[in-house]
Amino acid sequence: MNRHPTASLEIPSLSRRRLLTAATALPLAGCSARTLNALVPSSTFRFEGGIAYGEDPRHRLDVYRPLADVAGAPLAVFFYGGSWTRGDRADYRFVGEALASAGIVTVVADYRLSPQVRWREILDDCARATRWSVDAVQRLGASPSRVFLMGHSAGAYNAAMLALDARWLGAHGVQHRSLAGWVGIAGPYDFLPITDPEVQVAFDWPNTPPDSQPVAHADATAPRTLLLAAREDNLVNPQRNSEALARDLQRAGRPVRLQVLDGVNHVTLIASMATPLRMLAPVRDEVTGFLRA
């Protein structure tokens, strides 16, 4: 991992405006994400990387563990975004650190991407990674009754579908109702018709079935839910997606917490989990509080 030799000295003197400007430009990919990850303290977690959960080269995951095993610790399986066409688990080291340093065992999983595969295969990959995590939960020092799914953007869609639609985890012998809960950060949960060309390919538009949408599965079997969104999100509309899904889950009688945050956008919402950016929004506090409740 590349490290910026002076970044740790510069961070304390940065104003909130400068941090927000820098984070807004952060694509969470390639060099910029590596620069952000270079600010992640390596002394706050234990790391196991490149673990195979399947046969494809993209079937790999990383595990971030607290420094000390704590009986009954939660385990979170995190899926990243990227319009289902891009992304790499190494770019989300800052998420693993944010959770592991708070006592939460964290799995960050790669999955196959479009156009190599389509949405069904993507969800199956995420279900396979979840199956691996369920099987390994005790070895990793976590509780079998405290397994959570979590994702940002397209990854929040993946987490939502696994948590709400029994087909995906059920195909791998896991009951979605056995999850302790799930966390969606700036997720798309109701996005038909599809206008983005990349997403059209990933979802076989215009032959995308209505049951591909998480809102179609907001029923009484849903686990506990935390939905976080940025009020000024120009990529994923928070009213149509997070707010609407929260209402549907509430009508179904399921426990759900919704927080629509000011001062951040689609990217800075997840970036605010990183050590130098946590003053932008209380995302880490919201997530860790939910996972440890």
63 has a pLDDT exceeding 70:
yes
CATH number of the domain where residue 141 is located: 3.40.50.1820
Q: Report yes or no on 5 lying in a domain.
A: no
Least confident of 10-14, 129-133, 169-173, 206-210: 10-14
Least confident of 58-72, 232-246, 249-263: 58-72
pLDDT tens-digit series, residues 75-86? 999 999 999 999
| pLDDT (average), residues 76-102 | 97
Question: At 127, is the pLDDT very low, low, confident or very high (cuts 50, 70, 90)?
Answer: very high
User: Residue 32 has what pLDDT?
Assistant: 61
Domain containing 277 equals: 16-292
Q: Report yes or no on 23 lying in a domain.
A: yes
Q: Coil, strand or helix: which one is 226?
A: strand
| pLDDT (average), residues 87-113 | 97
Nearest to 269 by CA among 258, 283, 259: 283
Report yes or no: 169 and 162 within 8 Å, Cβ to Cβ.
yes
- C-alpha of 265 from chain center: 16
Question: At 9, is the pLDDT very low, low, confident or very high (cuts 50, 70, 90)?
Answer: very low
262 has a pLDDT exceeding 60:
yes
Summary mean pLDDT of the chain: 90
User: Residue 276 has what pLDDT?
Assistant: 86
Total domain count, the chain: 1
| pLDDT (average), residues 38-59 | 90
Question: At 70, is the pLDDT very low, low, confident or very high (cuts 50, 70, 90)?
Answer: confident
Least confident of 5-14, 247-256, 282-291: 5-14
Q: Report yes or no on 2 lying in a domain.
A: no
pLDDT tens-digit series, residues 134-191? 999 999 999 999 999 999 999 999 999 999 999 999 999 999 999 999 999 999 999 9
Q: Report yes or no on 7 lying in a domain.
A: no
Q: Report yes or no on 189 lying in a domain.
A: yes
User: Residue 37 has what pLDDT?
Assistant: 75
Report yes or no: 41 and 98 within 8 Å, Cβ to Cβ.
no
Nearest to 140 by CA among 77, 89, 65: 65
- Helix H segments across 171-229? 197-202
User: Residue 214 has what pLDDT?
Assistant: 98
Q: Report yes or no on 276 lying in a domain.
A: yes
Does the model's pTM come out above 0.85?
Answer: yes
Q: Report yes or no on 111 lying in a domain.
A: yes
Report yes or no: 228 and 286 within 8 Å, Cβ to Cβ.
yes
User: Residue 17 has what pLDDT?
Assistant: 52
**HSE of 210, CA atoms in CB hemisphere, 13 A:** 3
pLDDT tens-digit series, residues 189-236? 999 999 999 999 999 999 999 999 999 999 999 999 999 999 999 999
Least confident of 40-54, 56-70, 112-126: 40-54
Q: Report which of residues 117 and 69 the model is more confident about.
A: 117
15 has a pLDDT exceeding 60:
no
| pLDDT (average), residues 84-90 | 96
As a whole number of angstroms, the distance between CA 85 and CA 62 comes to 20
Q: Report yes or no on 116 lying in a domain.
A: yes
| pLDDT (average), residues 127-137 | 98
